[in-house]
Structure 1
Amino acid sequence: MVDFQAEKSVVREFHATLEAAVGDEIIDAVSTFATADYSWRGYHPFGEITTAEAVAETFWRPLKDALRRMQRREDAFFAGTNETDDHETVWVVSMGHLMGLFDAPWLGIRPTRKLVMLRYCEFHRIADGKIAETAMYFDIPHLMVQAGQDPFPPQTGTFLVQPGPRPHDALLYGPQVPEEGRKTLALINAMISDLGQWNSGMTLEEELARTWHDDMLWWGPHGIGATYTIERYAKQHSGPFRAAFTERSKTQHRCRLAEGHYGGFFGWPNFTARHTGGFMGMPATGQAGEFRVIDIYRREGDKLVENWIFIDLLHYWKSQGVDILKRAVSL
């Protein structure tokens, strides 16, 4: 049985060391666990960063200075081999919230001196006992609304500080039965196949029912929001999204994996599409744009039942000529 215990231990030790680090120790913490050619991809405005020292100085240190006494509140943790490179590499996934006291400005967002929670999900590629590559997406607009600086018009779904999985069983620190992960990955792939065509010949709800439980929970990013049941997901996100875009490219994932009843993927970007209809309360631009997305799924039986979604909406809207972050923090 491939248990990924060594790779999981690297990430768990990194998390513990980083949480305890202050000041210059933050640079040491990231450098100790990263390879010399470390590559990090993050949510706008961070983008691609290519050294551990730069990641620490550009992202981790300013964030920890702003969110004092920051804790990682982890909801999901699992590992697996990457299907997109024929299972050559091993990745470890962590998802949850970074919680702290918002005591200093961050990215121009005004501090509240109150408790806030920054949604995050990260994929780490482990090589020779070190972290060689990371994709880390957050939900900065979700933090902004907690600080009273909501950057978006009212959303189709619901704003929530989002919970973890209903069974509270996604912290897969120990080894799992491989067959369960294979079932989860096969179901995710079937869903991707349906999602990518937009012309199945079925109604949207019929199409979704092929791979989704009727009581599905879709925990979307702020600006779109969360929604519950196939019927409401179709009306409150999937239907409006499909109506707003044309010329959707094929799906392009850099990593896709599963372990146990949990799995997910990320892309850089996942796909491109042309904005030809209104979306998120904003008029069509007619321009193509990139969607950088992380999706995490929970399988129950032979259906997907929960989905946590991170979409870099700040990057997307900037590609459409709207700098959401700059506009919101200048108000």
Structure 2
Amino acid sequence: MITSIPDKCVDLQPAKSLVRRHYACLADATSQNVAERLAMHLDADCHWYGMHPFHEQTGPADIAAAFWSPFLSAFSRVQRREDIFFAGLNEIDGFQGQWVCSMGHLMGLFDAPFLGIPATRKIAMLRYAEFNRVEDGKITGTALFVDLIHLMIQAGLSPLRAPQTAAHLVQPGPLTHDGLLFGPQDPRASRMTLARINEMIGSIDRANALARPPSPQEELAQDWHDDMIWWGPAGIGATYTIDRYIEQHQRPFRTGLAGRAFNGHLCRMAEGTYGGFFGWPNLTLTNSAGFMGVAPSEVRADMRVVDIYRRAGDKLAENWIFIDMLHFLKMQGVDILAEIGR
């Protein structure tokens, strides 16, 4: 597998423009016409990856029926509050495919129940990260990750069996306020970002292979600034600095879960100082010692994960994470959605 973005000149602007037109079409869509709006820019056979309970869908009509129509029936006056937008060539297919990533919140008035989550008639912020594959002027593939547990907490629910170890926040965009890469970026910066992400991905295996593995602080310091910010999903939460990241996420994760199998990614890319990836699933693990309040078991469970990064200088500074927690927990016999209202 090639691990450096090739020197060939590829214009990513048409792909970005297509996705921005797509979002403009969705801006005033309704539950009744959203399938038609999706069909304006999605290929008829667009393959859509949606977190539990939406699952995989094909084509605008099924995508609308699974997610967009129910969402727009529950939320009114929806705004896309976008914090990060970038495009890139997909490392996973040898830098052939063009993908566009968008991340932020879908904000609206939560006026009717959604998936059994009670309406609040107040502002609600649905965290999202979306990857769109663009081919021949159409969107041919989409992965949409939304943080439903985060929404449940806003609605006053306590859906988990244990307090999360880090902070619950409506998460902001980048510290530098430069995450909307609507224009072309320096290819050299893109290569540096992807290289650092790849170094970080391999750091765990490299550390484990050493006769004297580094401490967690030493391992993380190779790829991260000391004042790193890890914007984790609801159920884990957000944490700040290497030491607090270890305390509030890495240590509970590594001590609670075992048998980590890395399954790979479907897309991994970078542009400028931003980059990210998603997998389906990224990881398979065993809850061997108890995690998120769920009792230990021998069940192998999948984590579908999005990671989006900001690089500052030669290291990573911020990381936004989405995990399909509902799917991960349901595989262990814990159905969070089914438990609402019991």
* Shared fold, TM over 0.5: yes
Report the Cα distance in structure 1 between the residues aligned to 2:190 and 2:158, rounded to whole angstroms.
Answer: 38
TM-score for both structures, normalised by structure 2? 0.94
Matches within 5 A, 1:19-58: 19-58=27-66
Q: Which residue of 1 aligns with 2:108?
A: 100
Q: Which residue of 2 aligns with 1:260?
A: 272
Q: Displacement of 1:282 after TM fit?
A: 2.1
Report the Cα distance in structure 1 between the residues aligned to 2:68 and 2:202, rounded to whole angstroms.
Answer: 37
Report the Cα distance in structure 1 between the residues aligned to 2:295 and 2:32, rounded to whole angstroms.
Answer: 45
Q: Which residue of 1 aligns with 2:284?
A: 272
Select which of 222, 225, 249 maps to 1:210.
Answer: 222
**Matched residue type, 1:313:** M
Select which of 238, 250, 275 maps to 2:250.
Answer: 238
Report the Cα distance in structure 1 between the residues aligned to 2:87 and 2:293, rounded to whole angstroms.
Answer: 37
- SS state of the match for residue 116, structure 2? coil
**Matched residue type, 2:30:** V
Residues 218, 308 of structure 1: 8 Å contact kept: yes
Residues 154, 223 of structure 1: 8 Å contact kept: yes
TM-score for both structures, normalised by structure 1? 0.97
Verify: 1:116 aligned to 2:124, yes or no. yes
Report the Cα distance in structure 2 between the residues aligned to 1:3 and 1:93, rounded to whole angstroms.
Answer: 16
Q: Which residue of 2 aligns with 1:178?
A: 187
> Relative to structure 2, which stretch is displaced further, 187-196 or 105-114?
187-196
- CA deviation vs aligned residue, 1:35-87 (integer Å, no higher than 9, x gap): 12110001110110112111112211110111100000000000000000000
Gaps of 5+ in 2: 1-8
Report the Cα distance in structure 1 between the residues aligned to 2:44 and 2:317, rounded to whole angstroms.
Answer: 40
Residues 2, 178 of structure 1: 8 Å contact kept: no
Select which of 68, 75, 80 maps to 1:72.
Answer: 80
Q: Displacement of 1:120 after TM fit?
A: 0.2
Q: Which residue of 2 aligns with 1:15?
A: 23
- CA deviation vs aligned residue, 1:135-185 (integer Å, no higher than 9, x gap): 110100000000011211211000000000000101000000111011000
Q: Displacement of 1:246 after TM fit?
A: 1.5
Verify: 1:139 aligned to 2:147, yes or no. yes
Number of positions where the alignment pairs a residue of Structure 1 with one of Structure 2 = 330
Q: Which residue of 2 aligns with 1:330?
A: 341
Q: Displacement of 1:2 after TM fit?
A: 2.9
Residues 97, 134 of structure 2: 8 Å contact kept: yes
Q: Which residue of 2 aligns with 1:281?
A: 293
- CA deviation vs aligned residue, 1:276-315 (integer Å, no higher than 9, x gap): 1111122212211101000000000011010000000000
Report the Cα distance in structure 2 between the residues aligned to 1:142 and 1:197, rounded to whole angstroms.
Answer: 34
Residues 196, 250 of structure 1: 8 Å contact kept: no
Report the Cα distance in structure 2 between the residues aligned to 1:76 and 1:46, rounded to whole angstroms.
Answer: 24
**Matched residue type, 2:51:** Y
Residues 207, 219 of structure 2: 8 Å contact kept: no
Provide closer, same or farther for how the CA distance between residues 45 and 164 of structure 1 changes in structure 2, counting only shifts above 3 A.
same
Provide closer, same or farther for how the CA distance between residues 277 and 21 of structure 1 changes in structure 2, counting only shifts above 3 A.
same
Report the Cα distance in structure 2 between the residues aligned to 1:180 and 1:74, rounded to whole angstroms.
Answer: 22
Q: Which residue of 1 aligns with 2:331?
A: 319
Gaps of 5+ in 1: none
Provide closer, same or farther for how the CA distance between residues 231 and 23 of structure 1 changes in structure 2, counting only shifts above 3 A.
closer
Residues 45, 140 of structure 2: 8 Å contact kept: yes
**Matched residue type, 1:18:** L
- CA deviation vs aligned residue, 1:205-254 (integer Å, no higher than 9, x gap): 11011101000000000010000000000111011101112211124100
Select which of 196, 218, 231 maps to 1:187.
Answer: 196
Report the Cα distance in structure 2 between the residues aligned to 1:64 and 1:284, rounded to whole angstroms.
Answer: 38
Q: Displacement of 1:25 after TM fit?
A: 2.1
Q: Displacement of 1:275 after TM fit?
A: 1.3
> Relative to structure 2, which stretch is displaced further, 282-291 or 267-276?
282-291
- SS state of the match for residue 314, structure 1? helix
Q: Displacement of 1:22 after TM fit?
A: 2.0
Moved beyond 4 Å, runs of 4+:
none
Q: Displacement of 1:198 after TM fit?
A: 6.4
Q: Displacement of 1:116 after TM fit?
A: 0.4
Verify: 1:125 aligned to 2:133, yes or no. yes
Q: Displacement of 1:269 after TM fit?
A: 0.1
Report the Cα distance in structure 1 between the residues aligned to 2:174 and 2:21, rounded to whole angstroms.
Answer: 24
> Relative to structure 2, which stretch is displaced further, 243-252 or 182-191?
243-252
